[in-house]
A = this chain, B = another copy of it.
Amino acid sequence: MVPPARPTLEAVAQRAGVSRATVSRVVNGSPRVAEEIQRRVRRAVEELGYVPNQAARSLVTQRTGSIALVFSEEANRVFSDDQVFPGIIRGVSQELEAADRQLVLMMAHSPAGHERIQRYATGGHVDGVLIASMHGVEPLPATLQRRGIPVVCGGRSLDRANRSPYVDVDHAGGVGAAVRRLLDTGRRRIATIAGPQDMVAGIDRLAAYRAALRDSDRRSIVAVGDFTRDSGVVAMRQLLADDPDLDAVFVASDLMAHGALRTLRDAGRRVPDDVAVIGFDDIELARFTEPPLTTVRQPVLDIGRRMAGQVLRIIDGQTVEPALVLDTELVVRQSG
């Protein structure tokens, strides 16, 4: 069956007995069109099932109505059971929906992926780009911005050349509260499982842990993971080997904390009696671990909302804060 040729403006105009310009005005809601004609046009649109061709439209308007959210990450990380990404996506989604913009989600794990995203954005598929979960020095934000494409980053960028605004959370505040609690409850050997050291979240949380211990007489005990559950399992084993007497561990993400819990159980340590565990993120899972996880909550939904808000503002030619830092909060449950 032949795909039914989609009706064009022309077709609608003919049917309604008006010019293309008039149809265009009605479709785009211009106020200066006579009631009577509006009705005629709308009816024709209805009958023909007319839908504007976006390519043609954005060729002249230079606008697409969609915004890309790109995760510089493998799909299985973005969609691991780490609720952080989803939260951001939902926040962006909400904000964009309210602004009647379409969200376009993309992932770029490989250099080739980055290349394609860049072509996609530079090719004019979207009006703006949100970039999250960056690793190391990501050239993408700076590149896009140089091309005149509005960009907002999720998390401070490691690329000094990147001058695009970003939205981040107060890692230092959250980690500080966590470590302070461990200190206050009398823990003496406080270790940490850090996140990947090519990501701001990993770097900043480790730095904050170190800073918090510096003020006490405790020494730091560090293992590095990559925010996955399996890496938490492995890191916890290392920690136990390094210092069998440790009695607390701050874990830079709940997912890694879940892995650590498993290792501790396997090693016969009771949580929190023998070892206190505090995570970071407050994902849904944290309420279902054994025991439920004390953790640092970050407002992921807000991160998304704010990011979307910022691009929208840039697109509208308004100025924006170069950095937005959102609060975190310690949520105490049974594990520490």
Identify the A interface with B (CB < 8 A). 2-4, 6, 49, 51-56, 58-59, 64, 66, 75-76, 78-83, 85-86, 89-90, 93, 97, 102-107, 112-113, 116, 119-120, 122-125, 146-148, 229, 258-259, 262, 283-285, 288, 290
Contact A54 B86, beta carbon cutoff 8 Å: no
> Lowest 4 A-B CB distances belong to which pairs?
A3-B148, A81-B81, A79-B86, A105-B105
A-B contact pairs, 21 of them (CB 8 A): A6-B147, A6-B148, A51-B122, A54-B55, A54-B123, A54-B125, A55-B55, A55-B124, A59-B59, A66-B125, A75-B90, A76-B86, A79-B83, A80-B86, A81-B83, A81-B285, A93-B107, A102-B120, A105-B106, A259-B288, A285-B285
Distance between Cα atoms of A191 and B200 in the complex (Å) = 47
Distance between Cα atoms of A113 and B83 in the complex (Å) = 22
Name the residue on B nearest A255 (C-beta). B81
Contact A4 B89, beta carbon cutoff 8 Å: no
- A136 → chain B, closest Cβ, in Å? 22
User: Which residues of B lie under 8 Å from residue A119 when comparing CB positions?
Assistant: 51
Contact A123 B229, beta carbon cutoff 8 Å: no
Name the residue on B nearest A93 (C-beta). B75
Contact B107 A104, beta carbon cutoff 8 Å: no
Distance between Cα atoms of A52 and B104 in the complex (Å) = 20
User: Which residues of B lie under 8 Å from residue A123 when comparing CB positions?
Assistant: 51-54
User: Which residues of B lie under 8 Å from residue A58 when comparing CB positions?
Assistant: 55
Contact A124 B4, beta carbon cutoff 8 Å: no
- A28 → chain B, closest Cβ, in Å? 14
Distance between Cα atoms of A55 and B60 in the complex (Å) = 9
User: Which residues of B lie under 8 Å from residue A6 when comparing CB positions?
Assistant: 122, 124, 147-148
User: Which residues of B lie under 8 Å from residue A4 when comparing CB positions?
Assistant: 146-148
Known: A55-B58, A79-B90, A81-B82. 16 other contacts (CB 8 A): A51-B122, A53-B123, A54-B124, A55-B56, A55-B64, A59-B59, A75-B86, A75-B93, A78-B86, A80-B81, A81-B283, A81-B284, A104-B105, A105-B105, A259-B288, A290-B290
